[in-house]
Structure 1
Amino acid sequence: MLAVAIVEDDKPIAQLISLWLEPYGYKCHCFESSEAFLASDWQSRGISLLLVDWQLPGISGIQLTKQLVSEPDCPAIIFVTSFGRADDVAQALHLGADDFVTKPVNKSVLLARIRAVMRRRGKDLKALNPGLEVTLAPSSLEVVIRNGGRCRLSPSQYRTLEFLLRHEGQVVNRAALSEAIWGESEPGQQGRALDLLISRLRVKLEGLPDNPMSIVSHYGLGYACYRALPAAAASVNSDR
């Protein structure tokens, strides 16, 4: 789980972004000012990503960026702001920010930008559930089993497995899974395309030696990932 600091003086916006990110495995900490963030002992929280507004009371987002980029453990920085002129973007990137997202924020765009920035930073999502002994490597789109078994997934297969592993043992409804895979703009993907994607992903996973994962269909509800196929789940698995 990656720790994210949201420095935003508009509390409803900060809370909304937090609600968007946490189901995808990000642990969010919200701060209403740069001063509050700096006083929070953010290094001990393991903050890997900073989402910061440009205009803040007291120390601005730009000033905060100037201060942080000199730190050896500086997190990745993405500006989330209503400032969207080319000069503003250029200034933020020149100072050391990793990316720039303008308000009003689109959920799918924000998630995609975060993933791209963390991938560039080499923040592979390792051991999402240590009990599964599984590593996901976004830079190579590979799933690796601790015993050495590995296979490369397509981008949509990778997003599917990543999302299911983050909710291991929970039934994920089809709409939520489709949104995580394709985004909000393609609700039609909730049909046969999703079932076909899951089927092909299963084939790849079953080819791994000692694969500990099972993706189970819960009829009328959605899909769940288990570390081993439970007897109760086997009875509702409609397409294995």
Structure 2
Amino acid sequence: MTSEQKGARILVIDDEPQIRKLLKVTLQAHQYEIEEAATGEEGIVQCSIAHPDLVVLDLGLPDMSGMDVLVRVREWSSVPIIVLTAKDREADKIKALDGGADDYVTKPFGMGELVARIRVALRHVAKSVQEPILKFNELIIDLAQRSVMRSGERVKLTPTEYDLLKLLAANADKVITQRQLLQQVWGGHHSETESHYLRVYISHLRKKLEEDPTMPKLIVTEPGIGYRFVTPDPEI
């Protein structure tokens, strides 16, 4: 665990005592500090007082929807929020991500997966200070020059391809929904035709950046939801 993650304060907002206990014991074993809240209102108050480094938020709360908590916290805080949900419908996941969640984990969940998602979210925050150059092993994106290098060679991208790559890479390891991509790259309202364009442009990027475009490891699809730029393991 990196130094910036060690001792990170995590707020767990969940009305199930057994879940809170499980999360507290497991996350404390990973050297995280844990705060708890059993209701949405309590969670909002705790978030404002405790200033957590990350929030784990259950969508099924007794006093208000977890989505309402998400929206209210996002009015004044950019703290990473990982949603826990028993709802596995794509529409629910998309709604949470569009509402400001950084990631989601579907119940029942494995603690190993949740801890991994927490580490990624905290790592992303640690990197969130805007850098002019993004480096992912042999892939280098120079934001100031709007240039992309792969294995020392310039990658020729169209303006739209570059804008898509920049948005995905700047939010590495986060799920970006199709709607978010369309709005930020194409702007305004979008149609089914533009949704098709998105798939085409993602395909073009994979052909230019992936070792095997048919089995992408860098730009992966979150079925029915969107895409995730995966930070590659450091080269040894």
What is the TM-score normalised by the length of structure 2? 0.49
What is the TM-score normalised by the length of structure 1? 0.49
Q: Which structure is richer in relative contact order (CA contacts within 8 A, separation 6 or more)? A: 2
Please identify the structure whose Cα radius of gyration is greater.
1
